Amino acid sequence: MSFKRLEIRHLVKAFGGEIVLSDFSLSACGGETVGLIGPNGAGKTTLFNVITGFLSPEKGTVSFDGTKLVGLPPFRIANLGVCRTFQDVRLIRPLTTVENVLLASRDRTGERLVDVLFRWKRTTRRESKMREAAISLLESVGLLDTVDVAGGELSYGQQKLLSLVCCLASGAELILLDEPIAGIAPEMRGEILSIIRELPNKGKCVVVIEHNFDAISSICDRVIFMDAGEKKSEGTPDEIQTDPIVIETYLG
C-alpha cells in the first residue's frame, strides 16, 4: 500500500501588500503527523485555506497524491480526500450529531434529485446502512448519548470532537486540524488526542496547528515552526523544543 503524499512548493500568498506566506514548502506523507506551530499571524490557518482551495496563492504549487490542487474549487479538493476542521468549530447546528456525520460522508447516494425521486428504495437502504456505521463510529468516541442531539446544543469540546469524527467519516486521507484541543476541558483533550494519535496507523496524513506544545509533541513526528509566513525551523518535537530560534521568538 502506497501512502498519498501532500506536496507544497514555494507557496506565496499576500493580502494586499502584506505577505502572509513567503516561499513556504512542506511535504508530508500518509502515516505521518506534522505539527505547525508559531505565533498568531504566522500564516498557519492561511496555509490551510490555500490547501483547501478557499484562497488562491500568488505563487507556488500544492498537490495531493499527484493532483494539483491550486485552482480547484473547495468541494472538488474535499472530494479528493482532503478534510479540515476549523479553529472556531464549524458544524451544521440544527442538524443532529449523527446527521452531521452523515453529511460528511463522500457517498453521494440520495443527494441527487434522480435518487430522491426515482431510486427511493436504494436511497433509504443506503441511508440506514450509513446511519448504523455513523452511530457505531460515534459510539467508539463516546458520543453515543448525543446521537440525536442538535450539533449546536453540544458542549464546545463535544463539538470539536464531532468535527474530528466528521473528518474520519469522510474517509479523507489528508486531515488538516486547526487547533483541535484549544479551549476545551482536559478529559475531552485526552479523548481527542488519542484519536489523532491513531490516524497515522490508518495511513492518514495529518497536519495539526496547535499552540499546546505538550500536545504537539505527543502526537507529531515532525514539527514546523512558522513565523511571519516563513518556515523558520523544522525537526522532531525535541529538536524544535531546544531550537534557539524557536525559544527566542515563541516558546520562551
Residue 172 — left, alpha, or beta (φ > 0 → left; ψ -120 to 50 → alpha)?
A: beta
Min CB(35)–another protein separation in Å: 21
Pairwise CA distance, residues 11 & 185, whole Å: 36
- The string of DSSP letters for 154-187 reads S-HHHHHHHHHHHHHHTT-SEEEEESTTTT--HH
For residues 8-37, which are near another protein according to CB under 8 A?
none
Q: Where are the beta strands (DSSP E) in the chain?
A: 5-15, 18-29, 33-37, 59-64, 67-68, 82-84, 174-178, 205-209, 222-227, 230-235
Among 22, 33, 170, 233, binds another protein (CB under 8 A): 170
Site map (CB under 8 A) of another protein, residues 118-147, x = contact: --x--x---x--------------------
Based on the shown chain and the rule CB under 8 A, indicate whether residue 65 belongs to the binding site for another protein: no
Among 10, 112, 129, 202, binds another protein (CB under 8 A): 112
Based on the shown chain and the rule CB under 8 A, indicate whether residue 83 belongs to the binding site for another protein: yes
Applying CB under 8 A, the residues found at the interface with another protein are 52, 54, 73-76, 78-79, 83-84, 88, 90-95, 99, 102-104, 106, 109-113, 115-117, 120, 123, 127, 150, 152, 156, 166, 170
